[in-house]
Amino acid sequence: MIDQNIKIAVDAIVFGYEKGTLYVLAVQQRFGKLADRWVLPGGFILDDEPLITAVERELKEEAGITVSYLEQLATFGDDIKRDDRFRVISVAYFALVNPKNFVLKADTDAKDAKWFPVAQVPTLGYDHNEMVKLAHQRLKSKLTYQPIGFDLLDHEFLFSDLENLYCSILERDIDRRNFRKKILSFGIVKETDKVVKIGSSGRPGKLFVFDKPKYHQLLKENFQFDIRFA
């Protein structure tokens, strides 16, 4: 008979995007050896709790947010001493949100909750920086074959907002003319009749919306969202 003493935890890498900057959510621990250190939202699962439910609960308890999109990223546990208290295996999830839709509220064992620019994430507790790095790589990859970027924008957006989002996440410039032509050719982005002023010049810019029903209908017809960057 094998005697195990292993804990199972979940952690969440929540990305947000605003004004050309990609952010990640972190919470400040209230108790223990890592008190006052920043970590990803997460914690141990309950005995009768599905993994996804545990992630949702921890996000609500520690940061006061509820997300509609969560994807399992990876399992972290090869480093036996990743938690110096005992052996812990963590299942990491990542999510995409628009920060303007949330008011952060730390509670339970979290002292504070804050958005950090991905490029300025502090040294997090445990192996959480490794989780953020892997999630960012996955996000970059998914942008090219799934229109997940729209989850980070307002419902109505300037096309330049979409272009800037891709540049920010991919950390590189793109051919904006070809990008626009490709996106519009899919028929999943609709131009509205609304116009807003852009920047200090005040020149007009049309607003667009992502046509989610059209996208899901196209998926049934074996539609392939494919944005390649040379």
Supply the pLDDT for residue 87: 84
Mean of pLDDT values over 123-131: 95
Mean of pLDDT values over 79-104: 87
Residue 156 has pLDDT above 70, yes or no: yes
Q: Compute CA distances 175 → 96, 98, 132, 167, 229, whole Å.
A: 25, 25, 27, 10, 8
Report the share of the chain in percent with pLDDT over 90: 61
Domains, the chain, in order of start with CATH, read: 7-142 (3.90.79.10), 148-220 (1.10.10.10)
Helix, strand, or coil here: 15?
strand
Residue 202 has pLDDT above 80, yes or no: no
The number of residues in the chain equals: 230
d(CA 58, CA 91): 13
Mean of pLDDT values over 205-217: 92
Mean of pLDDT values over 145-164: 91
Residue 108 has pLDDT above 90, yes or no: no
Supply the pLDDT for residue 187: 92
Q: Are 18 and 54 in contact (CB under 8 A)?
A: no
Q: What is the DSSP string of 86-100?
A: SEEEEEEEEEEE-GG
pLDDT digit string (tens) for 174-201?
899 999 999 999 999 999 999 887 776 6
Residue 50: pLDDT band (50, 70, 90) is very high
d(CA 203, CA 130): 43
Residue 230 has pLDDT above 60, yes or no: no
Residue 225 has pLDDT above 90, yes or no: no
Q: Which residues pair with 75 in a beta bridge?
A: 91
Cα–Cα nearest to 13, from 87, 63, 84, 88: 63
Main-chain phi, psi angles of 105, to 5 degrees: -145, 105
pLDDT digit string (tens) for 9-37?
999 999 999 888 999 999 999 988 888 99
d(CA 112, CA 62): 8
Supply the pLDDT for residue 26: 97
Q: Are 71 and 94 in contact (CB under 8 A)?
A: yes
Rg (CA), the chain: 20
Supply the pLDDT for residue 157: 94
Q: Is the pTM of this model over 0.75?
A: yes
Mean of pLDDT values over 55-72: 92
Q: Are 20 and 66 in contact (CB under 8 A)?
A: no
d(CA 82, CA 128): 10
